[in-house]
Structure 1
Amino acid sequence: MNWARRVALLTLVVAVAACALPRSGPNKKEIFAGSVLNDGDAFVVSVNDRVTRATAVVPALGFSGNFVNAGALGSDTIRPGDVLGLTIYENVDDGLLVNPGQNATLLDEVQVDGAGFIFVPYAGRIRAAGNTPEAVRRIITSKLDTQTPDPQVLVRRLAGDGATVSVVGGVGAQGVYPIERPTRTLSSMIARAGGIAIEPEIAQITIVRGGQRARVWFNDLYRNPRYDIALRGGDRILVEEDTRAFTALGATGSQNRVQFRSQTISAIEAIAQVGGLSTQLADPTGVFVFRNEPEDVARAVLGRNDLQGTQRFVYVLDLTEPNGMFQARDFAIRDGDTVYVTEAPFVQWQKTLSALTGSVGAAAGVVDTASTLSQ
């Protein structure tokens, strides 16, 4: 039976060696085999200072000139739909508007029409929307002054909220708020709504004004005062978290889809966020970043002008190089990236030996059982 045992053990060794052992993904050799240089469909590029500069693309958020250059509204700006009350005083007995024996005429509930105008007898059609009550008073006075001596006019809002904005998303108190003197700018209106209720570092603010939309980082309101824009009636303010994320796979502390926790994140920070490299599995020479690069960035990275459209790239980081950690610290991760760490070569040997040891033990037990039964 010694001869039969040897044959059985040899058969198991060959079978285990031929099997594909479990692993977390492709190895370095397989990734490099997919390079364009090897008739693959991806450019495999080692990260250096030039590549880091060419790929350092950060989302550009900010307001256009139409938003930045808009002047602040007055706290009592009249809006279409508002209802005004007019009182007109005349210094003559037989005035244009007053009744005999009186010197004042009261015009209640003069509504601003959809186009923003009101009608005043003898003064005609007057633009009210966008003006303050004081500005409307001056316009009416000017119109009547040529027809009655020294008219005195009072204008007040009887109904209507004037200019309002809506604030939704990650704020303390969502709602519709009037534009008042203390809340005529973006930062003051957010404060009026209870401040932001999400992490400031990843908070983004979107303004929708008519057919225009613009977005800015919350912190930039204070870093760059020009972004603290004046509000307009009807503005919609949305406060939300940054939605960018990357995926971590392979021999890392955890494999997961990870949200950005800051405006920029480096490769070394991305690895740290998932628990770092696995000390028992990872190959520090095989850290890869998979990405689809836009045409302009792809051309800059490769120094070529013949590329058309989006290109597949695999960036290689070797943390064992003298400046490898610095390269990983400076290389920016972008939205949709896949960070993959290969297993060290010896890991597969360990798995093979473990599988062989277990298989050999099992085979030996089978042979021993067979020998016992045959006696």
Structure 2
Amino acid sequence: MTLLSACALPRSGPSKNEIYSGAVEKGGNAHVIYVNDHVTRTANFAPSYGFSSSFQRAGQVGADEIRPGDVLGLSIWENVDDGLLTSLGNSSTNLQEIQVDSGGYIFVPYAGRIMAAGNTPEQLRNIITDRLSAQTPDPQVTVARVAGDGATVSVMGKVNGQGVFPIERPTRSLSAMLARAGGVSVEPEVAVVTVKRGNEMGKVWLTDLYAGQNDIALRPGDIILVEEDQRSFTALGALGGQTRVPLGNEMINAVEAIAMVGGLNSNLADPTGVFVLRDEPEAVASRVLGKQVYGTQRMAYVLDLTRPNGLFLARDFLIRDGDSVYVTEAPYVRWQKVLQAITGSAASADSLATIGN
């Protein structure tokens, strides 16, 4: 009875043999794979962030180009005492806050409906001048953009100043617009910047962006989202700590992952039973197994740190987002628990007998 109850003794998780019993070869649904040089070469890949070629090819927005939604200010001088738009005694008139409609047009008295979108202020000035020249001698026109609501981007998330910002000459690139929004409010090393443009989306590490990589030109309507990276792995079993560990923006190997939670528990851990559990994509699993498999595969990678090159293999094996690093207890620990349970039960019985007497 005591030996049977010992099987239910407290422990940090399954034993090596219990994990092996779930292998595909034994009717289970997980591939149990010892890590070697072939495995480290085929299983190691780090999903990288970056923008597609369509993002990178997009040219900078012309800061002077008029767009639907812009608000313009016009000033018109006429070379007569009593002109079309000027009152008696005045030589000029100001038409302020003329908004470019959704079709890109504006209306100017005596010049009619004019396509403003797509033109620079200088080009629009020439168009209006030509229209008015037929009705008043030698008109002089100035065009200025009062607001740039038509060429804007939205910046949100972990920034110090969320909002809708116009694309202006100093803020035509992603890094410049983030600076315009006050910079990020999280540590730069864990900040991820996502840009949504129509049906496309791309993301980049902030540190890569400021290093000069992927600093794309912005387009009207872009949505910029800054988030703190959520990638992590879970540490379980006979380790110095059992917790969820953020990965940050670095590539972490198995040795570093173990060290990040305090290393192996020297009183409990079996260094031959370090497991990395993950759901492996079809393409990677096929390369690791050396045969074609279909669909995502459950993989249990085994790292035996006692082998001559065990630590080197662990150092070369990369940890990915969603991995579980599990370390089994040494067989000695299990026997020790059984013995403690047996001797503890005997001591309790003796105590009860003493009390009875």
1:354 aligns with 2:340: yes
Structure 2 unaligned regions, length at least 5: none
Mapped partners of 2:312, 2:29: distance in 1? 29
Mapped partners of 1:329, 1:297: distance in 2? 20
Report the residue type matching 1:264 in the other structure. Answer: M
Alpha-carbon offset, residue 168 of structure 1: 1.9
1:271 aligns with 2:261: no
Q: Which residue of 1 aligns with 2:12?
A: 24
Mapped partners of 1:85, 1:75: distance in 2? 17
- Count the aligned residue pairs: 356
Aligned 1:251-330 pairs, distance under 5 A: 251-305=238-292, 307-330=293-316
Q: TM-score, normalised by structure 1?
A: 0.84
Mapped partners of 1:130, 1:217: distance in 2? 34
Q: Which residue of 2 aligns with 1:15?
A: 2
Alignment partner of 1:234 out of 221, 234, 238? 221
Q: Which residue of 1 aligns with 2:349?
A: 363
SS of equivalent to 2:337: helix
Q: Which residue of 2 aligns with 1:203?
A: 191
Mapped partners of 2:39, 2:134: distance in 1? 74
1:43 aligns with 2:28: no
Report the residue type matching 1:126 in the other structure. Answer: I
Report the residue type matching 1:71 in the other structure. Answer: G
Mapped partners of 1:63, 1:180: distance in 2? 22
Alpha-carbon offset, residue 164 of structure 1: 2.9
Alignment partner of 2:155 out of 164, 167, 186? 167
Q: Which residue of 1 aligns with 2:47?
A: 59
1:331 aligns with 2:317: yes
1:82 aligns with 2:70: yes
Report the residue type matching 1:239 in the other structure. Answer: V
- Whether contact under 8 Å (1:290, 1:339) holds in the other structure is yes
Alpha-carbon offset, residue 295 of structure 1: 0.9
The 1:216/1:131 distance shift into structure 2, 3 A limit, reads: farther
CA RMSD of aligned residues (A): 2.9
SS of equivalent to 2:236: strand
In terms of mean alpha carbon deviation, does 74-83 or 331-340 score higher? 74-83
SS of equivalent to 2:46: coil
Mapped partners of 2:224, 2:343: distance in 1? 65
Alpha-carbon offset, residue 158 of structure 1: 4.1
Q: TM-score, normalised by structure 2?
A: 0.88
Aligned 1:153-192 pairs, distance under 5 A: 153-158=141-146, 161=149, 163-192=151-180
Mapped partners of 1:335, 1:92: distance in 2? 75
Alignment partner of 1:132 out of 120, 138, 147? 120
Mapped partners of 2:90, 2:185: distance in 1? 59
Mapped partners of 2:15, 2:205: distance in 1? 39
The 1:224/1:323 distance shift into structure 2, 3 A limit, reads: farther
Alpha-carbon offset, residue 146 of structure 1: 8.2
The 1:100/1:262 distance shift into structure 2, 3 A limit, reads: closer
- Whether contact under 8 Å (1:202, 1:263) holds in the other structure is no
Mapped partners of 2:26, 2:147: distance in 1? 75
In terms of mean alpha carbon deviation, does 230-239 or 266-275 score higher? 230-239
Deviations 1:219-255 (A, max 9, x none): 1213344x11122333221111111121111101111
SS of equivalent to 1:219: helix
Deviations 1:141-194 (A, max 9, x none): 466678887653211234565533332222223233333322221111212222
- Whether contact under 8 Å (2:2, 2:342) holds in the other structure is no
Deviations 1:251-292 (A, max 9, x none): 011111222223422112221222111010001110001111
Mapped partners of 1:46, 1:146: distance in 2? 87
Q: Percent identity?
A: 61
In terms of mean alpha carbon deviation, does 259-268 or 286-295 score higher? 259-268
Mapped partners of 2:151, 2:224: distance in 1? 14
- Whether contact under 8 Å (2:156, 2:163) holds in the other structure is yes
The 1:287/1:139 distance shift into structure 2, 3 A limit, reads: farther
Deviations 1:105-134 (A, max 9, x none): 654443211122223467654332354322
Structure 1 unaligned regions, length at least 5: 1-13
Larger Rg: 1
SS of equivalent to 2:14: coil
Q: Which residue of 2 aligns with 1:119?
A: 107
